[in-house]
Amino acid sequence: MLIEEFELEVFTPPCEPGAERYAARARLSVDISDVLPYLNATLHGGTYHPAAGALTWKKGGHNIAFHAYEIATSNVEDRQAAEKEIKGLIELVNRTWERRAEIQPDTSTRQRPTQMALYQLLPRTNCRECGEPTCWTFALKLTASQKQVGECPPLLRPEFSTNLASLHNLMGDFPTIK
Ligand code: SF4
């Protein structure tokens, strides 16, 4: 196991005193830099920054960052959830490290598609079937991994089949963990 022990810190971000959301970080006793290219290869939607020795990832509204000696997450509803989230990320790192012989490491930096690029491929009717007030809002939530392409029902119609394929292509690096 790569990470066997860590110090957990759960706090309210200093820029948001009194906020009802929490951030958490685990300070590690081992350097996890070597696992980052493996995470980059398997973690859809992550952005690897080789020069900074960091990998960032947006997952379900949380901003997550992996550094050499630290794993951090933000925007968690309570302390218990923050602790659970960090422990899940540590398990993810350990699991990925154990599987490294099966993974082709990836040191490239992928760019996330922009809100505008995604919006232009949506039906742009603002029909609200996805639960969002506009297609623009839906596109924003796609960029933040808070929505998935399949949550826009009109995209399943034959006339949007090309748009759907293009969106899947653009979002291919996103949804979840392989
Ligand atoms: S369901 Fe699709 S077309 Fe309708 S508002 Fe949402 S994103 Fe736009």
Residue whose CA is at the smallest distance from ligand 1 atom 8: 135
125 lines ligand 1 (CB under 6 A): yes
pLDDT of res. 68: 95
CA 42 – CA 64 distance, rounded (Å): 15
132 lines ligand 1 (CB under 6 A): yes
Structure tokens at 133: 């007030």
Whether the Cβ atoms of residue 170 and residue 121 lie closer than 8 Å to each other: yes
CA 130 – CA 38 distance, rounded (Å): 34
CA 102 – CA 38 distance, rounded (Å): 10
pLDDT of res. 70: 96
129 lines ligand 1 (CB under 6 A): yes
Average pLDDT over residues 86-101: 96
123 lines ligand 1 (CB under 6 A): yes
pTM exceeds 0.85? no
If pLDDT is split at 50, 70 and 90, which confidence band does 19 have?
low
Structure tokens at 138: 């839906």
The tens digit of pLDDT for each residue in 112-171 reads 788 998 999 999 999 999 999 999 999 998 887 788 899 999 999 999 999 998 898 787
Distances 162 to 24, 108, 149, 171 between C-alpha atoms, Å: 41, 28, 13, 14
167 lines ligand 1 (CB under 6 A): no
If pLDDT is split at 50, 70 and 90, which confidence band does 107 have?
very high
Closest CA to 1 of 96, 75, 116, 106: 96
130 lines ligand 1 (CB under 6 A): yes
Ligand 1 centroid distance, CA of 57 (Å): 25
CA 93 – CA 67 distance, rounded (Å): 11
50 lines ligand 1 (CB under 6 A): no
Nearest atom within ligand 1 for CA of residue 153:
1
The tens digit of pLDDT for each residue in 29-87 reads 999 999 999 999 998 778 898 888 999 988 777 889 999 999 999 888 888 888 899 99
Nearest atom within ligand 1 for CA of residue 155:
2
CA 61 – CA 29 distance, rounded (Å): 28
Task: State the pairing for strand pair 6-11/62-67.
Answer: unpaired
Torsion of CA 21, 171, 106, 50, to 10 degrees: -50
